[in-house]
Amino acid sequence: METKSVWNKYSAAELKKVDLFAEEYIDFLNNGKTERECVDTIVNMIEEKGYKELREYTASGKKLKAGDKVYAVNMNKSIVMFQIGKKAFSDGLNILGAHIDSPRLDVKQNPLYEDNEVAYLDTHYYGGVKKYQWVTIPLSLHGVIVKKDGTTVEINIGDDEDDPVFFISDLLIHLSAEQMEKKASKVIEGEALDIIVGNRPLVVKGTSASKNVGKDAKDEKDKVKKNILAILKEKYDVEEEDFLSAELEVVPAGKAREAGFDRSMILAYGQDDRVCAFPTVKAMLDLKTTDRTACALLVDKEEIGSVGATGMRSKFFENILAEVMELSKEYSDLNLRRCLSASCMLSSDVSAAFDPSYASSFEKKNSAYLGHGIVFNKFTGSRGKSGSNDANAEYIAHIRDIYEKDGISFQTCELGKVDLGGGGTIAYILALYGMNVIDAGVAVLNMHAPYEATSKADVYESYKGYVSFLKNAKM
């Protein structure tokens, strides 16, 4: 069975919708380069459309009713949204679940040092990366520094045109004979991914920065580092020890861009998995009144196993659902369990797009193609389906029926050849409740690279598919 390019089915009017949707998506990517920034952006989007924070209801005791829209945020890194449906919660939810973390470099807790008059921030890479892809490119710094008194200082340096950028150096080709003999996994070691942040030594006399440093600034030792600390003190009022309670992420600098002469693609950092998160949010916002309660769940830590308080393995979703059911006068432990097991979910996550330049890594009949619509992965995992969710045939048939009726273009795939590929999503975690779950998202080129590529048509088709699912799924 062969799928066809969805570009051929669009009318002139719908092509305009594709481009307009892509514009909104590009803006979302530019405003949300970290999970914290994504949550802030999403909260602004949904509150404009009538969503209210759940704690407003819990504080007042006001009952939730059909049509109400509520959300809850977890530690500023994950968020869940509900649009209350007409049916009882025990009939189940229709859930879209995506993750908003992406591979990156994290700044260590004791990061700032100087070596031969060059100042560095020490980093630890996050998620699966090809380390050599991160050298010599412009980098930006995003995150928060939380001081002992609880004051939070937001950091966003490198993405405005007037900002400085940072970078990781690489050995010049003229001296790299030994380096070129190494395996790609060893060309750049993890401990070598330290970003260069300065080279100018502190000059005490005649500088405003000198007011904020101690008398030891006159010492010859580490004067470049001291200059960086003086700048941080002057601009952000933070000390070196404040790095201990900081969460700073190093990501590629620069905006998301249209790609190709035909502007058919989007090239940007962080599209795994924000390319699914954005259509998920938009689908919820454009949803009309539904029979089953609709839910969007956007979580952190998927790239490192969905662990921790903000990952999918935490009890955040279950706890908030219990709160929502209580406010709807439907909570009991049994009803909560019935709700979860009766629910339907699309684990909205990306898949690998077939790359003609590396065709030997793919099995063509079971690959996803750019511009061929939303992608379904019946199972994920690696090699012998290890660690996977494997969706039931009955559930896939139900979604096929929904999509055929609504004219949604879709394709199915595996992630590369059987003994080569593999990967995980949050699907198996939700499946533990006994609900029907399948992975459904967008095909991506350059997955986990500093810049990833997607098709505008696939992003738009995924949005349409998510709306159709939220309205019609009912197993």
User: Do 90 and 159 have their domain in common?
Assistant: no
**Residue 325 included in any domain:** yes
Q: Are 89 and 73 in contact (CB under 8 A)?
A: no
Instruction: Look at the chain and report how many structural domains it folds into.
Output: 2
Element (H, E) at 149: none
Q: Are residues 313 and 444 in the same domain?
A: yes
Nearest of 462, 469, 470, 467 to residue 444 by alpha carbon: 462
302 and 240 within one domain: no
For strands 257-259 and 265-268, give the pairing: antiparallel
Range(s) of the domain holding residue 318 = 6-102+269-472
Tell me whether residue 257 is in a domain.
no
Q: What is the 3-state secondary structure (H, E, C) of 268-326?
A: ECCHHHHHHHHHHHHHHHCCCCCCCEEEEEEECCHHHCCCCCCCCCCCHHHHHHHHHHH
- Name the residue type at position 286: D
Please give the chain's pLDDT, 475 residues, in tens.
789 999 999 999 999 999 999 999 999 999 999 999 999 999 999 999 999 999 999 999 899 999 999 999 999 999 999 999 999 999 999 999 999 999 999 999 999 999 999 999 999 999 999 999 999 999 999 999 999 999 999 999 999 999 999 999 999 999 999 999 999 999 999 999 999 999 999 986 654 554 555 554 456 789 999 999 999 999 999 999 999 999 999 999 999 999 999 999 999 999 999 999 999 999 999 999 899 999 999 999 999 999 999 999 999 999 999 999 999 999 999 999 999 999 999 999 999 999 999 999 999 999 999 999 999 999 887 778 888 888 999 999 999 999 999 999 999 998 888 878 777 899 999 999 999 999 999 999 999 999 999 999 999 999 999 999 999 999 8
Asked if 144 and 155 touch (Cβ cutoff 8 Å), the reply is yes
Q: Which residues of 255-285 are buried (b: 16+ CB within 10 A; e: fewer)?
A: ebebbeeeebbbbbbbbbbbbbbbbbbbbbb
Identify whether 261 is part of a domain. no
Residue at 244 is within a domain: yes
Q: What values do phi and psi take at 127, rounded to 5?
A: 85, 180
Q: How far is CA 466 from CA 9, 220, 347, 456, in A?
A: 19, 61, 11, 16
Closest CA to 96 of 299, 305, 266: 299
Rounded to whole angstroms, the maximal C-alpha distance in the chain is 76
